[in-house]
Amino acid sequence: MPASPIRKLVPFAEAAKKKGTKVYHLNIGQPDIETPPAIIDAVKHADIRVLEYSHSAGNESYRRKLVQYYKKVGIDVTYDQIMITTGGSEAILFGFFTCLNPGDEVIVPEPFYANYNGFACAAGVTVKPITSTIETGFALPPIEEFEKVITAKTKAIIICSPNNPTGYLYSKEEMYKLKDICLKHNLYLFSDEAYREFCYDGEYVSAMHIEGMEEHVVLMDTISKRYSACGARIGALVTKNKAVYDAAMKFAQARLSPPGLAQIMGEAAIDLPDSYFEAPKAEYLSRRNLLVKRLNAMHGVICPNPGGAFYAIAKLPIDDSDRFCQWLLESFSHQGETIMLAPATGFYGTPGLGKQEVRLAYVLNTAALDRAMNCLEEALKIYPGRIEN
């Protein structure tokens, strides 16, 4: 298992802070948006005598309320098609364990969420990347690229839309292309929709909106980003495929139950007004606009405009993104400040790709983001490994 591209430079950031340098963290998708106080209050006001195991699929009351939530985003499911998991992470893990056997293969458009590697490793599964490129804004690779890597061992495709790490939002046409290939080759479609609420351009299309895919789609969801509640560790696996659900339940039963206190939070979140998302969405949008504008104004930098989530990948005029990101922390500061980025190499499965790319998570307010961009701009002027593309 490779080290996390998001966390591997942490010791260098700690050393920079010890020297007195302020570090702007754009490396990790930990939002700074306030967790809605109402959902934390729900836990504070809960009357708990014994904090018991919940149902292995999560509290039935919560699952029944989630049906309403999904209905609002155009997903029609019943409570017994929803399984509450320990974060979206466990939903992904259960999907891998349930739908794939050791030695099987899963196709994923790269760059991709690096932790898929960890879950694949745990399940003994091989990740087969197909490359999406910054030139296309990280659009879905052509179907022929999928066809090239499909073998008898291929059992699933995993996508994330809006995407982490690219911010790309798959179009309806792209989702239907995925449908065609999944039906043709009888593949599962794992759809990681953690960032559903944050779409800025274009229409959000869930894998569960696609008719005729009922037996193929396994939706992996989480409240982490939706309500800025990453530490709660509450997610969901949603599927209309009863055999998949029943098999996942065996893993769910082995680990007994998802976290009890945080399920109260998740359930309370369904009662937030529909207007709740307006403010965080507007905030992320203004950050995205600032970030993309600042990046593209830098000489030699290219950053496609991401349609959703709160990530962007930028191509920089540098020799090696791992070296550059480490140098930013070790050897650079501008007005006593520097910036921590995630080298994009860790988001690619194909060795050698992403060497000129970094991922930026716009999880800081616009003032901080602007200062962080000042750092990057100055850094690129003096970085010894600068190369003109």
Q: Which residues bind its own copies (CB under 8 A)?
A: 1, 3-4, 7, 28, 30-35, 40, 43-44, 48-54, 56, 86-87, 89-90, 93, 97, 102, 115, 117-119, 122-124, 228-233, 250-251, 253-262, 265
Q: How far is the CB of 369 from its own copies (least distance, A)?
A: 17
DSSP strand pairing (235-239 vs 311-315) = unpaired
Three-point CA angle 151, 155, 156, nearest 5°: 115
Looking at the Cβ atoms of 89 and 366, the one nearer to its own copies is 89
Report which DSSP code applies to 4.
Answer: P
Structure tokens given for 58: 């999560």
Q: How far apart, in whole angstroms, are the C-alpha atoms of residue 67 and residue 80? A: 10
Q: How far is the CB of 340 from its own copies (least distance, A)?
A: 15
Q: How far apart, in whole angstroms, are the C-alpha atoms of residue 155 and residue 187? A: 5
In single-letter form, the type of residue at position 349 comes to: G
Q: How far apart, in whole angstroms, are the C-alpha atoms of residue 100 and residue 122? A: 11
Q: How far apart, in whole angstroms, are the C-alpha atoms of residue 376 and residue 374? A: 5
Looking at the Cβ atoms of 222 and 356, the one nearer to its own copies is 222
Structure tokens given for 356: 């000129």
Looking at the Cβ atoms of 73 and 122, the one nearer to its own copies is 122
Q: How far is the CB of 339 from its own copies (least distance, A)?
A: 20
- β-sheet bridge partners, residue 337: 22, 334
Q: How far apart, in whole angstroms, are the C-alpha atoms of residue 33 and residue 345? A: 28
Nearest CA to 5 out of 314, 322, 327 is that of 322
Report which DSSP code applies to 318.
Answer: B
Looking at the Cβ atoms of 82 and 265, the one nearer to its own copies is 265
Give the number of residues written for the chain. 389
Looking at the Cβ atoms of 243 and 256, the one nearer to its own copies is 256
Q: How far is the CB of 217 from its own copies (least distance, A)?
A: 23
Looking at the Cβ atoms of 86 and 154, the one nearer to its own copies is 86
Nearest CA to 146 out of 189, 114, 122, 181 is that of 181
In single-letter form, the type of residue at position 199 comes to: C
Give strand ranges (E) for 86-153: 105-110, 126-131
Looking at the Cβ atoms of 181 and 230, the one nearer to its own copies is 230
Q: How far is the CB of 253 from its own copies (least distance, A)?
A: 5
Q: How far is the CB of 263 from its own copies (least distance, A)?
A: 8
Q: How far is the CB of 201 from its own copies (least distance, A)?
A: 27
